[in-house]
Each structure stands twice: as structure tokens, then as C-alpha cells.
């Protein structure tokens, strides 16, 4: 009897946190957002290091291939538990969430600056709203729309306000991140609408399998294996391995979990915070922080605050 009463008391203590599972205010949701910000905030530099030895196609295909190989231990469970009727949906997640953006961003970074890519990547929440409204009839409050616009403006000010920054605009190659962010908007909405109750690790593993086999074939058919065997690309290979395990496999598991716990827009707001990580690393390495960048950070934080309001 005493044990039962104690368990009731314990459940009452934790009840507010358990009932808040699907709200913005639960601490775990913010922890997931923070981890994603740290992981994806380091992705651009890793892609740049990979491009020192590999071509854009080799970087993208190798990145997906390594993620696929790392997810193999989880495939058996995924095949056993995920219904086959969801396979086409998971294939869409693989293409829109990882496959297409990996190639698009790698190609863009060969001719455009990472700072411009950082700004354009912040279009993801806007595309999330547009795709959700057009394809899934998801209603969004004006306050959240204002938060999205403020967040994008803050990201642009944060990157462009760097002392001595020069934004080299290459229209053709800068269009590629825009397409990639549209893909992110599609992937995020599909996950929220159709995979709400699917285990994120298993769905990610299955998606990586579907796009990983073609990616591995593309990499093996090129000059990438010869570069690895020659020892010429050791540093670049290490960068891509880290990018694959953390920036692709782990990050997407965390991201899809965050989408399930909150909503597509809140999860997509991570793209506003990514430039802040890059700036923080720069300050740590001795770079100066301008007043304009501080203003950009303030706009981002206000935008994220608005996107987390229910009304």
C-alpha cells in the first residue's frame, strides 16, 4: 500500500512534464533543438574540407553511403516493424530530407560562399509553412509567420554583418540551396503528417537504405575509391565520416523525433540558429563580433520566440 501511494505521488510530480511532451515548453524539445544546432552548425566547414579532395558528387554520395552503412544494424528491426504501405513515404523522406539536399549543397559550395548558403538555408521554415499550407492545409498564425520572417532577417543580418564580409552572389549556384530548403520543407511536413508514430531511428535507417544503395553505386563508379586508397584524401575522408555519422544519421534521427514531439515549424527553426554556432566558433577563434551581428542574433531569438507561441 505504501509503495502504491509513493508511486502515485511520483507520477503526480512528473505529470506536468509528461503531459507537456508535445508542447514547446518541455525541456527535452529545447535540448534536441540545441543539439541539432551544434551538429548542423558545423556541417558547412566539414563539407568544405571534403571538397578539398573530392568532387561535389563524390562528397554527397560518400556522405550518404557512410550513413547507410552505419544504419545497417537497425535495418532488420526497421523491416520488421514498419508497415510496407509506408515504404513509399519513407522513400520520399530519404530523397527530400537527405538525398537531394546533400548533392545540392555540395554543388553549391563549389562556386558560392558558405555564408550565402547559411543565409539561404534559413529559408527552410518559410518553405515549411508554404508546403504545409498548400499540400496539407496546415494553418499557421500570423504571429508564427512574423516569427519566421524575423528569424530569416536575423540570419541574413548575422551573416552579412560580419566585419569585412563580402557576399559573392552566384545566381545559378545560389539557387541550389533554395531548392534544397524546399526539399526540407517537404520532408518535414511529410514526417509530421504521415510518420508521426513511426520510430525515428528505424525510419531513418530505412530511408538511408533506400537512397544509400544508389549513392554507394555512384561513389564506387567514380574516382573516389582510388583517392581513398592512395592516401591523398585522408583528411577529407575523415571530415566526411564525421559529417555522415553526426550531421546526417544522428542529426536526422534527432530532427524527426523533434518534429514528432512539437510541429514542423518549430523543428525547422533550427536553421535560424545554425549561423549563430558558426559565429560563436569564429569568436572563440579570435574573430570580432560586430553590433550588427548582435542585432541579427536578437532578431533570431525574437523570431524563434514568436514561432513557439500557440497564439
pLDDT band at 58 (very low <50, low <70, confident <90, very high): very high
Q: Which is more confidently placed, 295 or 180?
A: 180
On the question of pLDDT at 5 being above 50, the answer is no
- Report the chain's mean pLDDT, rounded to a whole number: 81
Domain boundaries, the chain: 43-141+167-263
Among the listed residues 14, 72, 301, the one whose alpha carbon sits nearest the alpha carbon of residue 209: 72
Over residues 153-182, the mean pLDDT reads 73
Residue with cell string 526540407: 184
> Angle CA(106)–CA(34)–CA(117) in degrees, nearest 5?
25
Over residues 179-198, the mean pLDDT reads 90
Residues 185 and 130: beta-carbon distance below 8 Å: yes
- 280 three-class SS: helix
**Buried residues in 234-262 as b, exposed as e (16+ CB within 10 A):** eebbebbbbbbebbbbbbbbbbbbbbbbb
pLDDT digits (tens, 9 = 90+) for 237-266: 999 999 999 988 899 899 888 888 887 778
- Number of residues that this document lists for the chain: 311
Rounded to two decimals, the pTM is 0.79
Q: Which three cell numbers stand for residue 191?
A: 514526417
On the question of pLDDT at 8 being above 80, the answer is no
Q: Which three cell numbers stand for residue 236?
A: 577529407
pLDDT band at 72 (very low <50, low <70, confident <90, very high): very high
Residue with cell string 551544434: 38
- 208 three-class SS: helix
pLDDT band at 183 (very low <50, low <70, confident <90, very high): very high
For a pLDDT cut of 70, what percent of the chain falls above it?
81
Q: Which three cell numbers stand for residue 19?
A: 503531459
Residues 184 and 19: beta-carbon distance below 8 Å: no
Amino acid at each position: 500500500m505504501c509503495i502504491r501511494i509513493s508511486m502515485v505521488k511520483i507520477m503526480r510530480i512528473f505529470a506536468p512534464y509528461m503531459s507537456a511532451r508535445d508542447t514547446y515548453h518541455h525541456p527535452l524539445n529545447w535540448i534536441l533543438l540545441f543539439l541539432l544546432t551544434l551538429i548542423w552548425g558545423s556541417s558547412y566547414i566539414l563539407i568544405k574540407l571534403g571538397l578539398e579532395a573530392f568532387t561535389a558528387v563524390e562528397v554527397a554520395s560518400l556522405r550518404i553511403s557512410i550513413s547507410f552503412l552505419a544504419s545497417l544494424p537497425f535495418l532488420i528491426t526497421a523491416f520488421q516493424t514498419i508497415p510496407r504501405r509506408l515504404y513509399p513515404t519513407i522513400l520520399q523522406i530519404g530523397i527530400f530530407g537527405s538525398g537531394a539536399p546533400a548533392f545540392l549543397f555540395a554543388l553549391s559550395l563549389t562556386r558560392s560562399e558558405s555564408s550565402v548558403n547559411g543565409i539561404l538555408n534559413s529559408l527552410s521554415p518559410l518553405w515549411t509553412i508554404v508546403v504545409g499550407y498548400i499540400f496539407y492545409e496546415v494553418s499557421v498564425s500570423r504571429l508564427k509567420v512574423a516569427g519566421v520572417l524575423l528569424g530569416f532577417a536575423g540570419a541574413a543580418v548575422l551573416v552579412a554583418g560580419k566585419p569585412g564580409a563580402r557576399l559573392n552572389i552566384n545566381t545559378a549556384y545560389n539557387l541550389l540551396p533554395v531548392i534544397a530548403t524546399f526539399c526540407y520543407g517537404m520532408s518535414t511536413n511529410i514526417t509530421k503528417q504521415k510518420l508521426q508514430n513511426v520510430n525515428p531511428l528505424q525510419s531513418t535507417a530505412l530511408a538511408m537504405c533506400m537512397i544509400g544503395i544508389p549513392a554507394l553505386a555512384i561513389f564506387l563508379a567514380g574516382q573516389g575509391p582510388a583517392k581513398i586508397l592512395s592516401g591523398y584524401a585522408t583528411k577529407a575522408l575523415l571530415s566526411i565520416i564525421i559529417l555522415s555519422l553526426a550531421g546526417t544519421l544522428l542529426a536526422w534521427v534527432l530532427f524527426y523525433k523533434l518534429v514528432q514531439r512539437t510541429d514542423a515549424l518549430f523543428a525547422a527553426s533550427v536553421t535560424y540558429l545554425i549561423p549563430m554556432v558558426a559565429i560563436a566558433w569564429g569568436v572563440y577563434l579570435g574573430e570580432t563580433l560586430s553590433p550588427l551581428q548582435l542585432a541579427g542574433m536578437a532578431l533570431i531569438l525574437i523570431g524563434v520566440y514568436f514561432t513557439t507561441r500557440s497564439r
